Amino acid sequence: MFANYLIGLREGLEASLVVCILIAYLVKTDRRDALKPVWIGIGVAVALALGFGCVLEFGSQELTFKAQEALGGSLSIVAVVLVTWMVFWMRRTARHLKAELHGKLDAALQMGTGALVATAFLAVGREGLETSLFVWTSVRASNDGTEGPLIGVLLGLATAVALGWLFYRGALRINLAKFFTWTGGMLVVVAAGVLAYGFHDLQEADFLPGLTNKAFDITGTIPPDSWYGTLLKGVFNFQPDPTVLQVTVWLLYLIPTLALFLAPVGFASGKGKVKIPDEQGARGSEPTKAS
């Protein structure tokens, strides 16, 4: 459940920050007339992400077992690629996100309503589609027959929305550099488990060999139905009897990716704080990141 909460929090907070920056900029520049098309674009993006998630969930139920495993395994790999790219991209560009969005919004304001809708849709839609895909694959990988994984995701998204609102109102400051570094590192660990599970799905679909070639089997020590087995499964997608291919893929992804991500490049120490001065009073204010 914690892993899925982390995914919902991390992905949801990125989308919340984008929305916060767009809305605060329009309010501060006294362009409230542009709020409606921006909210329309945001609403369409959210609807698309939810629709994509529903297609993945209900569409896959109509497939045969092997087809489900092949689809789940393939999408797990795609999701890990996208999330890995996302955490590195955010680590590199978070400090400049506000300026980039402001530039796009200024251009859209000059082009008209349609451009505003498109700008908001594209800014939020990418985050929404990535979130839907990774949440679906992660929930599927850590599913223990309960609603825990889905509840974790929803709680994470709700927390992200609440934090976004607090950013906008100027009631909260956070060091984005540290936040995205720590959550990004934990997300890489989660992604490693999703990737290993995806390869296991492809083995069950007979796309890859070695399903019976176990690296180890400690089900007697860590029973999958025990509380600690369930905890390890939920947090790290841990499997007590993985195949050799699963362990190999997990190590080959986790070690170099985590080493590159935590390398001392990108954010400088003490940078990346979100500051939201209350300059607009009741009208709200604009989030600003120190650079």
What is residue 288's predicted lDDT score, i.e. its pLDDT? Answer: 43
Residue 5: phi, psi to the nearest 5?
-60, -45
What are the residue ranges in the chain where pLDDT is below 50? Answer: 266-291
What is residue 285's predicted lDDT score, i.e. its pLDDT? Answer: 41
The beta-carbon contacts of 263-270 under 8 Å, at least 24 apart in sequence, are 266/91, 266/92, 267/91, 267/94, 267/95, 267/177, 267/181, 268/177, 270/177
Q: Residues 161-173: pLDDT tens digits?
A: 888 888 777 766 6
Q: CA 246, CA 266: separation in Å to the nearest integer?
A: 31
Tokens 């092997």 — which residue?
A: 66
Q: Which two tokens stand for residue 6?
A: 């982390």
What is residue 209's predicted lDDT score, i.e. its pLDDT? Answer: 92
